[in-house]
Structure formats: C-alpha cells, structure tokens
Amino acid sequence: MQNMLIVLIFLAVLFGGVYWYAGYSTRTGFAKDENQNFIPDAWEEKFSWFFSGKGIIMLLLGVAIGFTLAKVIG
C-alpha cells in the first residue's frame, strides 16, 4: 500500500508540474497562446482532454491519496 501512495504522490507532482509549466511557458512568451487560457496552442490541439479534465484529474488523485494515506496510517 505504501508503494501505491508513492506512485499517487508522484503522479500528482508530475501532473501539477505539467499544468504549471503550461502556464509558465505561456506567461513568459515561450509558447504561443492565442486564446489566453494559459495552455500552449500546440499542446491544446493534442492534449485537450488532459487540460479540460484538470479539475477532475486532480480531484481523483487527491481522493486516492487521502484514501491510501488513511489505509497506510490506520
């Protein structure tokens, strides 16, 4: 169960890093963002499902981390 917790935390950090870098690259002008939604246009075309489901993805990861943490501690 501890391995599952480590994997879930790694995924949360990885996805958070991708979301952060998308915003960072558009704010600094490194990537083009015509509609000003802080998602580079090249990424938006290929991975629109990943960015449109940002809220639900992070919610599910948070619930899974909480559940796994409760199992490990309790």
Q: What pLDDT digit, counting tens, does each position of 32-48 carry? A: 989 889 999 999 889 99
Residue 59 sits in which domain range? 2-73
According to DSSP, residue 28 is labeled: T
Which pLDDT value is given to residue 74? 80
* Count of domains forming the chain: 1
Closest CA to 8 of 55, 53, 73, 68: 68
For residue 39, the model assigns a pLDDT of 92
Helices (H) and strands (E) in the chain, counts: 4, 0
